Amino acid sequence: MDTLFRPPDGAWQRLAPRAAPARALGAALGTLLWAVPAFVATWLFARTWLPWAPWVVGGVGLAWLAWRTIRGWRWARAFGFVERESDLLITSGLWSRSLVAIPYSRMQSVQVRSGPIERFWGLARVSLVTASIETSATIPGLEATTATGLRNRLIEAGEAQALAL
């Protein structure tokens, strides 16, 4: 079954080593944004008639925080891409794996983005928009120089293989 998600030729390029801690940090911050207010609200409003409720909410929040942090590390390791002669293959997913092939001739635009957590870690993501809604894709967690090089190569390959209108 694993052969479904391997490229027929070439080796997968993985995300930057800093992508895993950046993803884990983003997941942790996202979890803390709801877990801390939920704990405080439960402590203030529910502890009089359910004295154990704040501790249950806090325990669930900590368990979810641990799960999302560990999952962030594993998610980054499961992501890969390979540039081939006529297309770009992207694989991702932990439980539900996917493999997307994007022909260079179908690319309409290439975007490079970087949010605050990504900039802190020196990372960027490259997004591809294609003629089909189903095959647009993003490669996150690339070092800035790698993202710039990938963007330039994808634009060049797209222009070289563009379909005549």
User: Tens digit of pLDDT for each residue in 61-82?
Assistant: 999 999 988 888 888 888 999 9
Q: Which is it for the CA torsion 113, 122, 16, 67, positive or negative?
A: negative
pTM of the model: 0.79
Report whether pLDDT(60) > 90: yes
Sequential DSSP letters for 109-155:
EEEEE--HHHHHTTEEEEEEEESSGGG-EEEEEEEHHHHHHHHHHHH
For the record, the structure tokens of 92 come out as 């991702």
Which pair of tokens denotes residue 132?
A: 């089909």
Question: Which residues are within 8 A (CB) of 86 and not within 5 positions of it... i.e. 6 or more apart?
Answer: 103, 104, 105, 161
70 versus 132: the higher-pLDDT residue is 70
